[in-house]
Amino acid sequence: MLEYETRLRVRYAETDQMGVAYYANYIVWMEVGRTELCRSLGIRYRDMEAEEGILLVVAEVHCRYLSPARYDDEIGVSTRIAGANFRMVTFGYEIRHIAEARLLAKGETRHVFCGRDFRPRKLPPKYHAFFGIGVK
């Protein structure tokens, strides 16, 4: 399965009083990874929204924190499509400290394909291959 790595540097504003990256930033980093994975495959969220009226609504988030990231650490967010069907897609993530190759966190986000009215909608066929739907 395709995997894409996005590299980021932990900013001072992303850390707490203990100098550790604040836990909610891992969810933001997952979003950055997800967006960059899509972009690397030639799909932009805003195009799906503008052209097709398809929104990827977050239905579920899971993150398992394993080791802390700290200010100025370079991290890599490896993102993959873990599963998809006509109604939803699940992305998987691993966040690593680049220099130490240490696994910091792993997680998943599940998204429902919805229309502008936020009601579930089937994904248009032109996006099936991108999400691995119907591909053997």
The reply to whether 40 falls in a domain is: yes
Kindly state whether residue 18 falls inside one of the protein's structural domains: yes
Residue with the bigger pLDDT between 46 and 97: it is 97
Which one of 16, 47, 72, 73 is the catalytic residue? Answer: 16
First CA to last CA across the chain, in angstroms?
11
Q: What whole-number percentage of the chain has pLDDT above 90?
A: 85
Which token pair is 117?
């009215």
Higher pLDDT, 106 or 129: 106
Task: For 7-21, write each residue's pLDDT tens digit.
Answer: 999 999 999 999 999
Q: How many domains does the chain have?
A: 1
What pTM value is reported for the model? 0.94
Kindly report the CATH number assigned to the domain that includes residue 99. Answer: 3.10.129.10
Q: Does residue 136 register a pLDDT over 60?
A: no
Question: Does the residue 132 lie in any domain?
Answer: no
16 labelled catalytic: yes
135 pLDDT above the threshold of 80: no
pLDDT at 45: 85
Percent of the chain whose predicted confidence (pLDDT) is above 70: 98
CA distance linking residue 45 with residue 38, whole number of Å: 8
Query: What range defines the domain where residue 52 resides?
Result: 3-127
CB 132 within 8 A of CB 99: no
